[in-house]
Amino acid sequence: MSAETQATLLLKRQLQELQKKPLEGFSAGLVDDDNLFKWELMIIGPPETFYEGGYFKAHLIFPKEYPQRPPKMTFVSEFWHPNVHKDGEVCISILHEPGEDKYGYEKAEERWLPVHTVETILLSVISMISDPNDESPANVDAAKEWRNDYRGAFKKNVKRCVRKSQDNL
């Protein structure tokens, strides 16, 4: 069985599981019914965070070598967060290529492992949204606001994203 066939079967099963038993705070589907490798997610801002009330769209793009290699996740909706690049790409350990971190920041076991599923990715993203890692920011400006002006500028920027997400429903 080719890696692509294996990935297709696995993705089909994971999508069916998520549609049968959805995770709280998320919905998942395909961007195009003919492509199992590009998913669209709707992420609901976690309760008791500044993101609460937001509906954020994101894409999860899987490589043909999935699950040996991680997917790439990108917010399509504007998303102000220390661990999300300004272009929307999510930067969390489990989405980093497997193996040792050349910078020595992450342990190999914190990075992508083939046992991860879409569900573990989504749970990690909810955790990241609620509890950013400002030690290794993808968005330095958001990280500075998170550290220095949490209730002021950071909250204001997040709330602007939440309002925009509600307008785009």
User: Would you name the residues annotated as active-site residues?
Assistant: 91
Length of the chain: 169
- Beta carbons of 90 and 84 less than 8 angstroms apart: yes
Half-sphere exposure of 150 (CA within 13 A, CB side): 7
Sign of CA dihedral 141, 148, 121, 40: negative
Query: Dihedrals φ, ψ of 132, to 5°?
Result: -60, 155
Environment class of 119 (CB within 10 Å of its CB; exposed 0-12, middle 13-18, buried 19+): middle
